[in-house]
């Protein structure tokens, strides 16, 4: 009895909604901290180092799987709750008056669906490229050596390698006689000995800047991103404090503080997220 | 207080012959309604007019007509118990309306509150939830202990009393966008959970009442807070949180 009560009942569904929702709020805060590095001038290398850490560190990996699961669970649970809620009123009212509740609280399912669409497109644009794109560029820097400009690959062991010496594939290397070729997207291999000599950074910074500065789609991407953050703000405006109520945490001393914090979180976090593409599109040279 | 005057109104009322037939909104014109009359008296006046016209009068729930029995329902102009807060429909007065107003009158809409006729709905689902756990088992053989013999902190007694003020009218379900009964069940769970007498059966009570609530087909709580606004007895959302707490405690046992 007690076990099924924690999975199937109406209240249990709300616990899970609240629990996954609050975890995703933590994720948002962490994700924001990472993204804000994009606002620091000349920070491409640090940002790419951070991106490498976030995609390879085992602890972060576990955390990211929990995040994927939370998103999926939050969405499925939300859909199930919404279906049940629609069924609970088969015949609607001819006239309704929304004055007794807030816009956000009445539209959490719609707002959530829009956020899910955003998450999917966002993951296709950045996450999938980072994880699977075979043509993901590696980070380079341009230096002047004796009056001549030279492009260098930055390496994870703090070394560097001239891009002119590196072939894209082994076949290309044997044709051109390049000493080094790239294997497995990021690894530098010595052509003759066929041993790994180092590794480059995936240039997520470049991908991100190119995405929001795209001559054709950069502006629309920036606008859609900002709109999505607006949707997120409304979702959080109700969701944050609502999660505490669902978990049974409501008291005359704590609830006003939770509500205030939730409001600040719901407004500040999406604004900070939205500033980044605006900065890249309109200000960054 | 300004003197009462007479107004003319248009009514759009849900008419449904019985539980099995499909209903629809019918329009009625009613003249010379005193603003001093209650909403239910206005419906009485309409029914008199309908009877004189040899038409079927509108069926609606009512009993005490002093805001305590929870019998009168009615979703008036998009709000449970009409355009005022902290009242039942019998406490709603026609002074809240203006001459020439069109007033929508609909029954509570919920799968768990099927329409019996016109504006009358079957709220026995609330009774079944109450029967599932909304009680304390006390030996009433004649040797009942005096309730006041158990010391109870005043704040707890007050909160329990506030929860117990619920009259089971169903306005919370009617106004909730999800047709959720959690304010009702939250109040009923809280009123016992706060008192030592209720602690004995606390675990089974909350599990059974919530299970019955789910079985009746009520929706889930989205914490919109609409129920709290429309509750004629001012039952607070705190009671839903307390039920959520009690349920978590009971589930982990």
Among B116, B135, B160, where does a domain finish?
Answer: B116
Distance from CA of B211 to the nearest CA of A (A): 7
* Whether residue B156 sits in one domain with residue B108: no
Whole-number pLDDT of residue A1: 45
Residues B211-235 pLDDT 10s? 999 999 999 999 999 999 999 999 9
User: Given a cut of 80, is residue A2 above it in pLDDT?
Assistant: no
Are residues B79 and A14, on separate chains, in Cβ contact within 8 Å? no
Nearest-by-Cβ selection for A1 from B207, B225, B244: B207
Nearest-by-Cβ selection for B210 from A9, A92, A95: A9
CB A142 within 8 A of CB A149: yes
Q: Which domain, by its residues, includes B43?
A: 6-116
Query: In which band, very low, low, confident or very high, does the pLDDT at A116 lie, cut at 50, 70 and 90?
Result: very high
- With contacts defined as CB-CB under 8 Å, which chain A residues touch B243? 11, 248
Whole-number pLDDT of residue B129: 98
Residues with Cβ within 8 Å of A107's Cβ and at least 6 positions away in sequence, in order, are A234
Token digits of residue B3? 């003197």
* Whether residue B23 sits in one domain with residue B107: yes
- B214–A contact, CB cutoff 8 A: yes
Q: How wide is the angle at C-alpha A22 spanned by C-alphas A86 and A108, nearest 5°?
A: 25
Distances, alpha carbon B220 to alpha carbons A10, A12, A228, B92, in Å:
6, 10, 27, 29
Residues B156-203 pLDDT 10s? 999 999 999 999 999 999 999 999 999 999 999 999 999 999 999 999
Are residues B77 and A6, on separate chains, in Cβ contact within 8 Å? no
Can you list the pairs that A119-124 forms with residues at least 24 positions away whose Cβ atoms lie under 8 Å?
A119/A71, A122/A228
Are residues B220 and A14, on separate chains, in Cβ contact within 8 Å? yes
User: Which residues in chain A (114-153) have CB-CB distances under 8 A to chain B?
Assistant: none
% of chain B exceeding 90 in pLDDT: 92
Residue B242: CB atoms within 10 A of its CB come to 24
* Whether residue B105 sits in one domain with residue B50: yes
When divided into structural domains, chain B yields a total of 2
Specify the CATH number for the domain of residue B209. 1.10.1060.10
- With contacts defined as CB-CB under 8 Å, which chain B residues touch A84? 178, 219-220
* Whether residue B103 sits in one domain with residue B218: no
Supply the angle between the helices B182-193 and B124-133 in degrees, to the nearest 10: 30
Are residues B226 and A249, on separate chains, in Cβ contact within 8 Å? no
CB A282 within 8 A of CB A213: no
User: Which residues in chain B (53-72) have CB-CB distances under 8 A to chain A?
Assistant: none
Whole-number pLDDT of residue B141: 81
Residues A210-235 pLDDT 10s? 999 999 999 999 999 999 999 999 99
* Whether residue B245 sits in one domain with residue B140: yes
Interface A:B, Cβ pairs < 8 A: 148
- B190–A contact, CB cutoff 8 A: no
**Burial (Cβ within 10 Å: 0-12, 13-18, ≥19) of residue A112:** buried
* Whether residue B86 sits in one domain with residue B134: no
Lowest mean pLDDT among A188-192, B24-28, B168-172: A188-192
Token digits of residue A44? 């491409």
pTM of the complete model: 0.92
Are residues B241 and A250, on separate chains, in Cβ contact within 8 Å? yes
Pick the more confident residue, A135 or A113: A113
Q: Which residue of A has its CA nearest to B174?
A: A89
What is the rounded distance in angstroms from the CA atom of residue B106 to the CA atom of residue A95? 9
Alpha carbon A169 to chain centroid distance?
31
* Whether residue B237 sits in one domain with residue B156: yes
Q: Is residue B1 part of a domain?
A: no
Among B116, B137, B152, where does a domain finish?
Answer: B116
Mean pLDDT over A254-263 rounds to 96
Specify the CATH number for the domain of residue B100. 3.10.20.30
- B243–A contact, CB cutoff 8 A: yes
* Whether residue B65 sits in one domain with residue B162: no
- With contacts defined as CB-CB under 8 Å, which chain A residues touch B252? 2, 6
Which residue, among B208, B219, B243, B186, has the nearest Cα to B131 in the 3D structure? B208
* Whether residue B80 sits in one domain with residue B46: yes
Can you list the pairs that B148-157 forms with residues at least 24 positions away whose Cβ atoms lie under 8 Å?
B150/B196, B150/B197, B152/B195, B152/B196, B156/B194, B156/B195, B157/B194, B157/B195
Query: In which band, very low, low, confident or very high, does the pLDDT at A159 lie, cut at 50, 70 and 90?
Result: confident
Whole-number pLDDT of residue A266: 98
Q: Where are the alpha helices (DSSP H) in chain A?
A: 2-5, 10-35, 44-56, 58-87, 103-106, 108-122, 128-132, 170-176, 204-213, 218-246, 255-278
User: Which residues in chain B (114-173) have CB-CB distances under 8 A to chain A?
Assistant: none
* Whether residue B219 sits in one domain with residue B133: yes
Residues with Cβ within 8 Å of B164's Cβ and at least 6 positions away in sequence, in order, are B187, B191
Distance from CA of A37 to the nearest CA of B (A): 36
Query: In which band, very low, low, confident or very high, does the pLDDT at A5 lie, cut at 50, 70 and 90?
Result: low
Distance from CA of A280 to the nearest CA of B (A): 38
Residues A70-83 pLDDT 10s? 999 999 999 999 99
Mean pLDDT over A13-28 rounds to 97
- With contacts defined as CB-CB under 8 Å, which chain A residues touch B225? 100-102, 105
Residues A142-156 pLDDT 10s? 888 888 898 999 888
Nearest-by-Cβ selection for B219 from A6, A12, A88: A88
- A87–B contact, CB cutoff 8 A: yes
* Whether residue B90 sits in one domain with residue B44: yes
Query: In which band, very low, low, confident or very high, does the pLDDT at B1 lie, cut at 50, 70 and 90?
Result: low
- With contacts defined as CB-CB under 8 Å, which chain B residues touch A90? 111
Pick the more confident residue, B138 or B107: B107
Q: Is residue B157 part of a domain?
A: yes
Q: Is residue B77 part of a domain?
A: yes
Are residues B220 and A85, on separate chains, in Cβ contact within 8 Å? yes
User: Given a cut of 60, is residue A3 above it in pLDDT?
Assistant: no
Mean pLDDT in chain A?
93
Are residues B252 and A92, on separate chains, in Cβ contact within 8 Å? no
Fill in the DSSP letter of residue A200: B
Are residues A81 and B220, on separate chains, in Cβ contact within 8 Å? yes
Q: Which of B80, B125, B174, B222 to mutate to test the interface with A (most CBs of A within 10 A)?
A: B222
Residues B14-23 pLDDT 10s? 999 999 999 9
Query: What number is the ipTM of this complex?
Result: 0.91
Q: How many CA atoms lie within 13 A of A13 on its CB side?
A: 20
Lowest mean pLDDT among A106-120, A177-191, B94-108, B183-197: A177-191
Distance from CA of B146 to the nearest CA of A (A): 32
* Whether residue B94 sits in one domain with residue B140: no
What is the DSSP annotation of B117-185?
ETTEE--HHHHHHHHHH-S-----SS-PPPGGGS---HHHHHHHHHHHT-----HHHHHSTT-B-HHHH
Among B84, B116, B148, where does a domain finish?
Answer: B116
- With contacts defined as CB-CB under 8 Å, which chain A residues touch B75? 93
Mean pLDDT over A31-54 rounds to 95
Residues A80-93 pLDDT 10s? 999 999 999 999 99
Whole-number pLDDT of residue B2: 66
Q: How many CA atoms lie within 13 A of A48 on its CB side?
A: 27
Whole-number pLDDT of residue A4: 61
Are residues A85 and B180, on separate chains, in Cβ contact within 8 Å? yes
Alpha carbon A18 to chain centroid distance?
20
């Amino acid at each position: 009895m007690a076990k099924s009560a924690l999975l199937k009942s109406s209240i249990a569904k709300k616990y899970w909604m609240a629990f996954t929702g609050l975890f995703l709020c933590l994720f948002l805060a962490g994700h924001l901290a990472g993204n804000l590095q994009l606002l620091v001038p000349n920070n491409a290398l640090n940002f790419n180092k951070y991106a490498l850490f976030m995609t390879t560190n085992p602890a972060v990996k576990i955390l990211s799987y929990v995040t994927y699961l939370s998103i999926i669970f939050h969405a499925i649970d939300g859909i199930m709750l919404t279906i049940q809620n629609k069924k609970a009123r088969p015949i609607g009212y001819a006239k309704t008056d929304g004055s007794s509740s807030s816009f956000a609280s009445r539209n959490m399912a719609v707002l959530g669906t829009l956020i899910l669409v955003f998450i999917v497109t966002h993951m296709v644009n950045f996450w999938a490229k980072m994880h699977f794109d075979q043509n993901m560029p590696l980070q380079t820097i341009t230096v002047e050596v004796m009056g001549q400009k030279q492009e260098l690959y930055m390496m994870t062991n703090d070394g560097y390698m001239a891009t002119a010496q590196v072939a894209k594939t082994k076949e290309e290397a044997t044709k051109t006689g390049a000493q080094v070729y790239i294997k497995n997207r990021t690894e530098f291999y010595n052509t003759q000995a066929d041993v790994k000599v180092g590794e480059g950074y995936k240039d997520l910074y470049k991908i991100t800047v190119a995405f929001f500065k795209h001559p054709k789609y950069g502006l629309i991407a920036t606008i859609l991103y900002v709109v999505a953050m607006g949707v997120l703000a409304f979702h959080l405006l109700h969701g944050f404090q609502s999660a505490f109520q669902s978990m049974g945490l409501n008291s005359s001393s704590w609830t006003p503080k939770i509500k205030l914090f939730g409001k600040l979180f719901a407004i500040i976090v999406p604004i900070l997220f939205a500033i980044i593409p605006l900065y890249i599109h309109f200000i960054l040279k | 207080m300004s003197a009462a005057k007479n107004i003319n109104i248009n009514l759009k009322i849900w008419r449904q012959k019985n539980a099995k037939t499909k209903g629809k909104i019918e329009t009625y014109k009613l003249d010379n309604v005193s603003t001093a009359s209650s909403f239910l008296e206005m419906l009485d006046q309409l029914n008199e007019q309908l009877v004189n016209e040899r038409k079927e009068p509108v069926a609606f729930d009512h009993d005490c007509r002093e805001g305590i029995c929870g019998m009168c329902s009615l979703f008036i102009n998009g709000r449970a118990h009409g355009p005022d807060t902290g009242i039942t429909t019998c406490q709603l007065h026609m002074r809240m309306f203006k001459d020439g107003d069109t007033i929508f009158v609909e029954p509570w809409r919920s799968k768990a509150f099927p329409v019996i006729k016109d504006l009358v709905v079957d709220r026995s689902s609330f009774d079944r939830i109450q029967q599932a756990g909304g009680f304390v088992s006390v030996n009433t053989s004649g040797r009942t202990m005096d309730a006041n013999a158990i010391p109870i902190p005043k704040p707890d007694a007050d909160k329990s009393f506030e929860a117990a003020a619920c009259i089971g009218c169903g306005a919370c379900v009617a106004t909730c966008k999800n047709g959720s009964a959690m304010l009702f069940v939250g109040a009923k769970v809280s009123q016992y959970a706060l008192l030592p007498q209720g602690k004995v059966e606390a675990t089974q009570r909350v599990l059974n009442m919530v299970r019955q609530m789910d079985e009746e087909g009520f929706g889930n709580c989205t914490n919109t807070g609409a129920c709290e606004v429309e509750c004629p007895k001012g039952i607070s959302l705190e009671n839903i949180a307390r039920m959520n707490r009690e349920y978590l405690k009971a589930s982990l046992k």
